Amino acid sequence: MRAVVGSTRIEEEIFGRAFDGNVIRRIWRFVAPYRPQVVIAVLAALTFTLSQLSIPLLIQYAIDNGMTPGADAGTLWRIMALFVVAILVNFSASLVQEKVTARTAENVLFDIRWRMFEHLQRVSLSFMDKTEVGRLMSRLQGDVNSMQEFFETSVQSVGDIALLVGIVVAMLWLDWQLAAMVLLVLPVLFGVRVLWLARARAAFMAAHEANSVANGALAEAIHGVRAVQALDRAGLNADLYGKLVGNAYQAQLRASRLAQIMIPIVDSLTGIAMAVVVIAGGLIVASGRVEVGVMVAFLFYIQRFFDPIRSLTMQYSVMQRAMASGHRLTEVLDVSVDVTDAPDAVALGAADDGSVEFRNVTFGYDPQNPVLKNVSFKVKSGERVALVGPTGSGKSSSISLIHRFYDVMDGAVLVGGRNVRTVTQDSLGRHIAMVLQEPYLFTGTILENIRYSSHWASDADVTEAARAVGAHDFIEAMPQGYQTVLDERGGNLSLGQRQLLSFARALVVDAKILVLDEATANIDSYTEMQIQKGLQTLLEGRTGIVIAHRLATIRNADRIVVLQHGVKIEEGDHEALMADKGLYSRLFELNYASFDDLPADLTLKDRATAT
């Protein structure tokens, strides 16, 4: 099992920050539409704070003015009424803050998730080729959840800071000398916090790294569960994953201990401060300089003074996670879409034919290692052409360029006589239907899967396409026919049945160009025979580009283009290639069933000139 860390060093550095202005600015764009709700939540938090601050003052006034000998009896009733009002305001403000904050956070996170999903549906395949699905899922789920926690605590942080400042101001107003004695514990608290931050940051980063390793290993094992079971690796993988989870557990435990250690420290300092007020305040009260109510108010304020400090301490780790998560989220949103429509792009229409042409095309996923090298060939509208060659010869890359999943490095690809760079991608998608070697079905009904790329198609169109590829009979035999719900990726169908549905999906689009990329490679001979019968009719009037390894499936093509190491080495129909006595002919004469059976010691030159 390979543990996937992926850019951990960069993430560690970001995770060490408690505040990142760039992340805040980027995320604020999602918060900006909800500014009125944010203002309401902040005002509610400040109102809640003011009501909290008023209660000790009311108690102080009641003791000093309503409980002294000869005091007016109505004073206590008025204070009681004010006390009830303060409690009601406290409750109402807290309720408004919680509800508005929670709803706003959910709305913001919905917008982020939707924006990321929309962006990931359109990012260039070059990004998806080198990005692990597990990491993207982690960002869509775990990182967004971290941001939710941050949003919900941000408003609370405003209230905590306001409460802290308000308590200090109130204590100084009541008696600055007694307040100074209480505030003497703050330097001790700040000193402890500085020492704590360095250790906490290291512990949080270690825990984050350990979790990344464990989550990467988990995602890899789940995605490759078939291979795991086939290779009998389940037990060994469980042991290895147990060690990774154990490391993550220990790292999280250390981080949790450091996160929690500040709580008893703050509680101890709270007790010390209260002791100072009781002793020093008692002496001051005995001297007659201040009244008893002032000391009682001080005790209430001290009890609340360290609550916001404790809360802000706990929110430090929340902010760290949020800054790291926010950075990773914006990384995804900033992924450039390399393949975009030109400003003056036109849409392919009914007047455009189904021709395809490669003009001196050079292309590579890595510019230093081209997959296709100066390849040229033309497929006429309505013609059926086969692209053949060993694995790695550039066949699948060629059809990716036809659909413009990637842009060529040099040369041009034309569809319908137009350079694919000059037409809209949506119209190109409607002009070309593709069937890949690995059929991908989605959770939903059979009808919905066949109509996945052609939502406008009627039920009759779907049924006709299914009949044409020989899928109708087995669909009708399903429990609910076309309304049968498929398991994840069509798990309740055989591979051949899944491929037949992907054929029907491509055909119902009624595109002018039909591309088959090893579409019959994983299908049994009987099912392939059914498909071949259907294709003879369905390819009529359409351009067909077929990629196949097995020579038996391509000999009836109008033309065959032979690729090797990204170079076109032969072109012609079956009879012409056999007469040329080249590589294609050599394979037939030696009874090779597939281009993958080529001897390893046969060089490119030998293959091109073999007789």
Identify the helix (H) or strand (E) that includes residue 324: helix 292-333
Mean pLDDT on 547-566: 79
CB 133 within 8 A of CB 332: no
Instruction: Specify whether 516 is located in the same domain as 568.
Output: yes
156: CB partners within 8 A, 6+ apart: 45, 101, 311, 315
Q: What is the pLDDT of residue 88?
A: 92
Cβ proximity of 416 and 354 under 8 Å: yes
Asked if residues 512 and 353 have their Cβ atoms less than 8 Å apart, the reply is yes
**Tokens standing for residue 232:** 């009998």
Asked if residue 600 has pLDDT above 60, the reply is no
Same domain, 247 and 393: no
Arithmetic mean of pLDDT, 546-574 = 81
Residues 320 and 367 in one domain: no
In a domain, 118, yes or no: yes
Kindly state the DSSP code that residue 481 receives in the 8-state scheme. Answer: G
Instruction: Of 421, 391, 386, 418, give the one whose Cα is nearest residue 406.
Output: 421
Residues 403 and 465 placed together within one structural domain of the fold: yes
Tell me which of 116-125, 374-383, 451-460 is least confident. Answer: 116-125
Other Cβ atoms less than 10 A from the Cβ of 401: the count is 24
Q: Report the C-alpha gap between 133 and 219 in whole angstroms.
A: 8
Which of 299, 333, 367 lies at the terminal end of a domain, its last residue?
333
Q: Are residues 309 and 365 in the same domain?
A: no
The per-residue pLDDT for 485 is 83
Q: Could you tell me if residue 344 is inside a domain? A: no
Residue 485's CB is within 10 A of a number of other CB atoms, namely 13
For 10-24, 171-185, 250-264, 536-550, which range has the lowest pLDDT when averaged over its residues? 10-24
Are 545 and 599 in the same domain?
yes
pLDDT in tens, 210-229: 777 787 777 777 777 777 77
Asked whether the predicted pLDDT for residue 11 surpasses 70, the reply is no
Chosen domain end from 333, 365, 398: 333
Q: Which residues contact 460 (CB under 8 A, 6 or more apart)?
A: none
Q: What are phi and psi of 92, to 5 degrees?
A: -65, -45
Domain assignment present for residue 136? The answer is yes
Residue spans of beta strands (DSSP E) within 291-447: 356-363, 372-379, 384-388, 410-415, 418-419, 432-435, 444-445
- The Cα–Cα gap between 335 and 592 comes to 45
Q: Are residues 417 and 308 in the same domain?
A: no
With respect to residue 172, please indicate whether it lies within any of the assigned structural domains.
yes
Bridge partners, 359 (sequence order): 412
Domains: count for the chain: 2
Residues 272, 383 share a domain: no
Least confident of 69-78, 121-130, 335-344, 377-386: 121-130
Residue that terminates a domain, selected from 272, 302, 333: 333
Tell me the CA end-to-end span of the chain in Å, nearest whole number.
Answer: 47
Specify the pLDDT at position 458: 81
Residue 231 pLDDT greater than 60, yes or no = yes
The model's pLDDT over 287-333, given as tens digits with 9 standing for 90+, comes to: 777 778 887 887 788 778 777 877 777 777 677 777 777 777 777 77
Residue 126: pLDDT above 60?
A: no
Same domain, 321 and 443: no
Find the CATH number of the domain harbouring 108.
Answer: 1.20.1560.10
Same domain, 98 and 238: yes
| pLDDT tens-digit readout, 181-202 | 777 777 776 777 677 766 776 7
What's residue 43's pLDDT? 92
Residue at 345 is within a domain: no
Whether 431 maps to a domain, the answer reads: yes
Residue 116 amino acid letter: M
Lowest mean pLDDT among 30-44, 404-418, 588-602: 588-602
Q: What is the pLDDT of residues 240-261, one digit of tens each?
A: 888 888 888 888 887 777 767 7
Whole-number pLDDT of residue 607: 43
* Range(s) of the domain holding residue 422: 356-609
What's the whole-model pTM score?
Answer: 0.62
Task: Over range 36-61, report the average pLDDT.
Answer: 87
495 in the same domain as 553? yes
Q: Residue 175: inside a domain, yes or no?
A: yes
**CATH assignment of the domain containing 604:** 3.40.50.300
Q: Are residues 311 and 375 in the same domain?
A: no
Q: Is 343 among the domain residues?
A: no
pLDDT tens by residue, 416-437: 888 888 888 888 878 888 877 7
Distance CA 207, CA 244 (A): 12
What's the whole-number mean pLDDT along residues 264-278? 73
Tokens representing 462? Answer: 């779907």
